[in-house]
Structure 1
Amino acid sequence: MHPIVSLEGRTIVVTGAGQGIGKAIVETVVALGGNAIAVDLNGDTLKAVAAQQPEGRVLAVQGSVADAALADRAVADGVARFGAVHGLVNNAGIIRPAMIEKMTDPQWQDVIDVHLTGSFYWTRAAGRHMVERAKAGDTTGGSIVNISSDAGRKGSIGQINYAAAKAGLLAMSMTAAREWGRYNIRANSVCFGVVETPMTEVVRGEKFRDGMLAQIPMGRWSTPDEAGKAVCFLLSDGASYVTGQHLGVNGGFHISL
């Protein structure tokens, strides 16, 4: 019997791979037999992630995800190194919190550039390669996973930029699923609640902790490892007929039809 979740022989691009969820995804991809193209702005953390994995299994790419040329180059380098790119995880993210009336133009634009525009650049770059493979007769297909958030479905006080970008990723997933389904390319979103990462330190702090946990039926935060496993399921053939969907991985923080 074949394992339900395997990435044997697959190559996955992971942005924001230097820490937190991205790091956990890279580790899980490699553990499941795949190769990773790990992308991050921080070269030091990126090198550390690559060094922790078996030699030759991780290609480290340093730079900003908001650089369209970097996306094209990283996919091309990954194809040259591993033969093909089979998956993409748009995970890179930043926060620039402020109430609406106090938010500056740079605070708005920085978050949109990284979360939304950057994800478009990487989706376009990886998707072009996957479509070309399909047109050449390769039936392997591909899988794109956009890391969204419950903030994109509910809104988030003090983060209109982040919530708007994450909502945009839901539409990006659905559109890619519709356009590329005929090429066996799937696109889905994962909506996390609160994961134990540096980005969520404030909401997990003393001021907000009890109130946040009271809204989570499972009564705890998610670990990065749990987050990585959910993403890798969508990357694998275990989710071969799943596309255009939004998977909530949040301990019940957001429950809807």
Structure 2
Amino acid sequence: MLLEGRVAIVTGAGRGIGRAHALELARHGAAVVVNDFGVTLAGESAGETPAESVVAEIEALGGRAVANGADVADFEQAAAMVQQAIDTFGGLDILVNNAGFVRDRMLVNTSEEEWDAVIRVHLKGHFAPLRHAGAYWRAEAKEGRQRAARVINTSSGAGLQGSIGQATYSAAKGGIAALTLVAAAEMGRYGVTVNAIAPVAKTRMTEGAFDTSAMALPEDNSPIVAWLASEEAGDVTGRVIEIDGSTITVESGWRHDASHDLGRRWTAPEVGPALRDLLAASVVPEGVYGA
């Protein structure tokens, strides 16, 4: 019961990984706002309410939960979702940003509408809930009620190493990793840790895009989320952690590598030899998935 008495929001929690997170947090004692907009894999209206089903599962386990149908990339709806947690359960301690969908295309075939839709739900859909939750935690800290708040964002190997045919998705997930670093640095003073996971799982998002026969199950990712959401994890922040079945990997992102200070402005002919020497002395990046 790592999370007894704590209050969580999980976005995109009607199916797949988000559903597994919501159930795991509830098993550890958290009251959960189960958010799901009820859309198809491509982000279109499905006329379903999967969040209600997850709430019923949590209540059957003896837990506390409430459904939320907000579009997390809508700034005002995201604010109302945070307020729902506070009004229903008396506060907010945990935000798990998970909602998203894919519209995979090779870069030269990607439409403007597809780009905008994927960037909106993933990147703005992380920013809006985080922004409103962060404002609440800042206000609590200023009033002397600092909470041991936790944010777990959802990046991807596609955002960290890149993935052929997923330029839009990769750009969004890479942005989420960078957002995680900045939020961790800015919000630590209010008692907030901000981390991200890069989950690997057989879900409706991966089926059709990859061979999923050997992939982990959605629930294999959730124990890590539950621990990161606990008060025990207060010394871990600004990190991206990949989970692939039984393997946890700490991801190391962009960092300064080999450098050469010429002491004056470079000339163009000097750049080539110097840069080639630096690249030869630098860590070789991992290959893009599918390359």
CA distance in 2, matches of 1:255, 1:75: 30
Structure with the bigger RCO (C-alpha within 8 Å, sep 6+) is: 1
CA distance in 1, matches of 2:80, 2:251: 40
- In the alignment, which residue of structure 2 is the partner of 1:39? 35
Matched, 1:108 2:102: no
Matched, 1:79 2:79: no
1:4-15 correspondence to structure 2 within 5 Å: 6-15=2-11
Q: Aligned-pair distance for 1:140? A: 2.4
- Which one of 222, 225, 230 corresponds to residue 219 of structure 2? 225
- Which one of 120, 123, 133 corresponds to residue 126 of structure 1? 133
In structure 1, list runs of 5 or more residues that go unmatched.
214-219
Matched, 1:235 2:250: no
Task: For residue 35 of structure 2, give the secondary structure of its aligned residue in structure 1.
Answer: strand
Task: For residue 165 of structure 1, give the secondary structure of its aligned residue in structure 2.
Answer: helix
Task: For residue 137 of structure 1, give the secondary structure of its aligned residue in structure 2.
Answer: coil
- Which one of 197, 202, 211 corresponds to residue 208 of structure 2? 202
CA displacement 1:16-63 (0-9 Å, x = unmatched): 010001101110111000011111111521111111122771111113
Q: Aligned-pair distance for 1:253? A: 9.9
1:179-190 correspondence to structure 2 within 5 Å: 179-190=186-197
CA distance in 1, matches of 2:230, 2:248: 26
Distance 1:243 1:255, change over 3 A: closer
Q: Aligned-pair distance for 1:254? A: 7.4
Contact 1:130 1:141 in 2 (8 A): no
Distance 1:61 1:141, change over 3 A: same
Aligned-pair identity in percent equals 35
Q: Aligned-pair distance for 1:77? A: 1.5
CA distance in 2, matches of 1:106, 1:160: 14
Rg larger in structure: 2
CA distance in 2, matches of 1:247, 1:255: 5
- In the alignment, which residue of structure 1 is the partner of 2:21? 25
1:40-189 correspondence to structure 2 within 5 Å: 40-42=36-38, 43-54=48-59, 57-189=64-196
CA distance in 2, matches of 1:253, 1:189: 13
CA distance in 1, matches of 2:33, 2:99: 13
Amino acid at match of 1:81: T
CA distance in 2, matches of 1:255, 1:186: 16
Q: Aligned-pair distance for 1:141? A: 2.6
CA displacement 1:124-177 (0-9 Å, x = unmatched): 011111111111112323011101101111101111110000000111111011
In structure 2, list runs of 5 or more residues that go unmatched.
39-47, 253-291
Contact 1:177 1:243 in 2 (8 A): yes
Task: For residue 49 of structure 2, give the secondary structure of its aligned residue in structure 1.
Answer: helix
Q: Aligned-pair distance for 1:224? A: 1.2
Q: Aligned-pair distance for 1:232? A: 1.2
- In the alignment, which residue of structure 1 is the partner of 2:260? none
User: What is the TM-score with the length of structure 2 in the denominator?
Assistant: 0.78
Q: Aligned-pair distance for 1:255? A: 7.7
Aligned length: 240
CA distance in 1, matches of 2:107, 2:206: 20
User: What is the TM-score with the length of structure 1 in the denominator?
Assistant: 0.88
Distance 1:107 1:250, change over 3 A: same
